[in-house]
Structure 1
Amino acid sequence: MSNNTHLNLLQLGSFFFGTFWVSIALILYCIQSHGVPSAGPWLVKTLKVCFWLYAGCALLVVVFQYHVIFDEEHLPVTECMPAWILSAYPFLALGPLATVLEYSQPQTSAIPIMVGGIVFQGLEWMTAFIMYTIYFTRLINSDLSESKRPGMYVAVGPAAYTSNTLVALGVHAPKVLPATFLGITSVPTGDLWKAFAVPAGMFLWLLGFWFFALATMSVPWWYKKLHFMLNNWAFIFPNVGLTVALIQIGKVLDSDGIKGVCSAMTVALVIACIVVAVMNVGAVWRGDVLWPGMDEDVEDMEGHGQKMRPD
């Protein structure tokens, strides 16, 4: 592999650095859900500090990641994939993280976290919206190879997790926001916030489902060629956001039908997660992934026709 090719792979792979920060946010999410009810007020204060530290780190990641990509790499529009959104993924989990942190925080801390969750999620959504435009251009102008089609599910994530954020923050708003927040005295501000946020979340959920349907329609065309690649994990995380957002919508509407659909989606996700995990272990054991020339980077390597397997 030439030095230039190796550099290009590093630059393209840098898109995936954002997923590391999503993992950190999910760890904080789980600490709030499982640790706070059993711990003292010290953990509540710790999570408040962690939220803002994470937000600052996420902002630096998004700024510098895209700076490096824009400055060092010239990527053709015809090669655009939803993975180009991944550098903004650290903000994807900030909104949902804010929704679980705010109700255990004192009001002086809960309001800034709520506002921070909205604005940071908004940055992620607008970045994704811009990338959606480029992605649509690619879908119209060129075909997707079979190996890249599971990555289409990544496009579900921004709409799904933003929907979850809007609905959840809207539901909590009457409890968190003072009645005269922002100087509004005619109606309780929390109720007004909820009235706008919940319908907006429903609006975005259907967009996420549309991306899910597009990706799902493309899968049957290549199922006979199905083999594990690391982007197969896109079957899981974005669709978890779609499911969690629908759970929030089902609760706020008190709809038994929606709750039943959510149960079915949850079962399907658990099965999919187990299948992908087993395929992942098998692929590593056989040397089909994490080896030079045997992963999704094979199409970007010089001499990719000569694949290298471990003995």
Structure 2
Amino acid sequence: MISLRFYLYPSTFKASFLHPTESLFIPAAAISFGTILINITQYGVGPKTGYWLQEIMTMLYWIYCGLALLFSCVIYLIMWSTQTFTISQMTPVWIFPAYPLLICGPHAGNLAAKTSGDRALDIIISGFTLQGIGFLVSLMIYSAFLYRLMTQKLPKESLRPAMFISVGPSGFTIAGVVSMGQQLPRVMHADFMGPGNGEFAARVSMIMANWLGLWLWGLAFWFFFVSVGAHWSCARRGNMDFAMTWYSFVFPNTALTTATFAIAKSLNHNRGIEIVGCVLTVALAVTWCVVSAMMVRAVVLRQILWPQKQEDRDEGGWKEVAVEGQRDQGRRGAEGSPGELDEEPEHGTVEQKPNDAGPARRLSWSRGWEEKGSGFGRWRGDDSVVRDV
């Protein structure tokens, strides 16, 4: 759908990078790529597939690391250069450009388990480095989020599911650090960090990784409980209309579930923690089914993927423009209601046909053709499309 939008309206590709909300989700493309690579590494790399797949996945790992670093830096630079935010507008979605870096650790841990020697050690070192960047950037944004909660109360109901995004950084860091630490005794050579220090450094690093993971596991659950509690008032009043932010119920909590199993493994397969992980897995699967069903329902009811509805409100330059002869709001309300929407995709506009008593209005795409009575137009450099109605 988004590719079709860029194809039909090429100007929206650039506009998406400058949009204050949409630009935050551009790194999701890199996250999807990284998640696919992790799954291939987990279930594909091995003796049955041969050495060639291991080589390809190693090359793709380094490519992904470069993309993750590039995406996080570029998106934040664009935001800081073109947007102005206030603390009242702050949501955990601000963390999202750092999310591609948070996938590097789990990716490195899975790939290092399928390789050996210096190659595996290089992967682990790079994974620790990039995971540290992603988590520390997220941690600094955490402080802004907590300050926003202290001064502005909870976000409005439609944005409140995004609070679960704050669970993700800790969860992915746990999964990455613990899995990489468990591989160090196997891959670290004898003279790492000094002559004869290799074995000692590997075991100490593994123990420290386990304790760090346990520490962050508590932080992840704290944010999880706070996020769940924030939805109590919404659920009690039944004020939970669907929004695309509902998928925050799923993706960040996969990190918490994965982290729970990693902690259980680091504690010699602790039975109680493994049971908690199984409960989270079942709840996550049920939640995904519910959210997907609600999304289909919202599309049918035209609550999403519809002009001026939720994420499509003023997105990519859409704005409401009054045409010539439009009366003021009070007179329009007295004379009649607006008519139905009529799409004109060739001009990137959605035009509203007037009723007998109501004036014409339309939604226009940023930058377009100024049309004259003859049907010909000229390109305008401003942010509107002017059309005689």
Q: Once the 2 structures are TM-superposed, how far is the Cα of residue 297 of structure 1 from its aligned partner?
A: 5.8
Please say if 1:58 is aligned against 2:68: yes
TM-score scaled by structure 1?
0.92
Determine helix, strand or coil for the equivalent of 1:146.
coil
Q: Is the 8 A contact 2:27 2:99 kept in 1?
A: yes
Residue identity matched to 1:259: E
Determine helix, strand or coil for the equivalent of 2:308.
coil
Determine helix, strand or coil for the equivalent of 2:159.
helix
The structure richer in helix per residue is 1
Q: Is the 8 A contact 1:250 1:258 kept in 2?
A: yes
Please say if 1:85 is aligned against 2:95: yes
Q: Aligned residues, how many?
A: 305
Q: Identify the match of residue 188 of structure 1 among 176, 193, 200.
A: 200
Please say if 1:264 is aligned against 2:275: no
Cα distance between partner residues in 2 of 1:308 and 1:185: 81
Residue identity matched to 2:219: L
Q: Is the 8 A contact 1:18 1:61 kept in 2?
A: yes
Report % sequence identity.
30
Q: 1:214 to 1:227 in 2, by over 3 A?
A: same
Structure 2 counterpart of 1:33: 42
Q: Is the 8 A contact 2:243 2:304 kept in 1?
A: yes
Q: Is the 8 A contact 2:18 2:82 kept in 1?
A: no
User: Which gives a bigger RCO, structure 1 or 2 (Cα 8 Å, sep 6+)?
Assistant: 1
Structure 2 counterpart of 1:167: 178
Q: Is the 8 A contact 2:157 2:234 kept in 1?
A: yes
Q: Once the 2 structures are TM-superposed, how far is the Cα of residue 159 of structure 1 from its aligned partner?
A: 0.9
Q: Once the 2 structures are TM-superposed, how far is the Cα of residue 163 of structure 1 from its aligned partner?
A: 1.3
Residue identity matched to 2:241: H
Q: Is the 8 A contact 2:106 2:172 kept in 1?
A: yes
Residue identity matched to 2:184: A
Within a 5 Å distance, the mapping from 1:1-311 to structure 2 comes to: 10-37=19-46, 38-143=48-153, 144-183=155-194, 185=196, 188-223=200-235, 224-253=238-267, 254-296=269-311, 298=313
Q: Aligned-residue CA RMSD in angstroms?
A: 2.4
Q: Which runs of 5+ in 1 are unaligned?
A: none
Q: Is the 8 A contact 2:16 2:23 kept in 1?
A: no
Q: Once the 2 structures are TM-superposed, how far is the Cα of residue 283 of structure 1 from its aligned partner?
A: 1.4
Q: Once the 2 structures are TM-superposed, how far is the Cα of residue 169 of structure 1 from its aligned partner?
A: 1.2
Q: Which runs of 5+ in 2 are unaligned?
A: 1-11, 321-336, 343-389
Q: More deviation in 172-181 or 151-160?
A: 172-181
Cα-to-partner distance string for 1:90-148 (whole Å, 9 max, x where unaligned): 11111100010012123121111101110101110011011011111110111310111
The structure richer in strand per residue is 2
Please say which structure displays the higher CA radius of gyration: 2
Q: Once the 2 structures are TM-superposed, how far is the Cα of residue 175 of structure 1 from its aligned partner?
A: 1.2
Cα-to-partner distance string for 1:27-70 (whole Å, 9 max, x where unaligned): 00111112113311011010111011111111111111111000
Residue identity matched to 1:203: W
Cα distance between partner residues in 2 of 1:152 and 1:302: 28
Q: Once the 2 structures are TM-superposed, how far is the Cα of residue 180 of structure 1 from its aligned partner?
A: 2.9
Q: Once the 2 structures are TM-superposed, how far is the Cα of residue 293 of structure 1 from its aligned partner?
A: 2.0
Q: Once the 2 structures are TM-superposed, how far is the Cα of residue 284 of structure 1 from its aligned partner?
A: 1.9
TM-score scaled by structure 2?
0.74
Q: Once the 2 structures are TM-superposed, how far is the Cα of residue 198 of structure 1 from its aligned partner?
A: 0.6
Residue identity matched to 1:238: P
Cα distance between partner residues in 1 of 2:28 and 2:210: 27
Q: More deviation in 99-108 or 180-189?
A: 180-189
Q: Once the 2 structures are TM-superposed, how far is the Cα of residue 286 of structure 1 from its aligned partner?
A: 2.2
Structure 1 counterpart of 2:362: none
Q: 1:106 to 1:289 in 2, by over 3 A?
A: same
Q: Once the 2 structures are TM-superposed, how far is the Cα of residue 296 of structure 1 from its aligned partner?
A: 4.2
Residue identity matched to 1:166: V
Determine helix, strand or coil for the equivalent of 2:202.
helix
Residue identity matched to 1:205: W
Q: More deviation in 59-68 or 178-187?
A: 178-187
Q: 1:179 to 1:145 in 2, by over 3 A?
A: same
Q: More deviation in 214-223 or 11-20?
A: 11-20
Cα-to-partner distance string for 1:213-267 (whole Å, 9 max, x where unaligned): 1100011211201121111000011111111111011112121111111111111
Cα distance between partner residues in 2 of 1:89 and 1:26: 11
Q: More deviation in 174-183 or 197-206?
A: 174-183
Cα distance between partner residues in 2 of 1:252 and 1:159: 16
Residue identity matched to 1:289: I
Cα distance between partner residues in 1 of 2:211 and 2:82: 41
Cα distance between partner residues in 2 of 1:209 and 1:258: 13
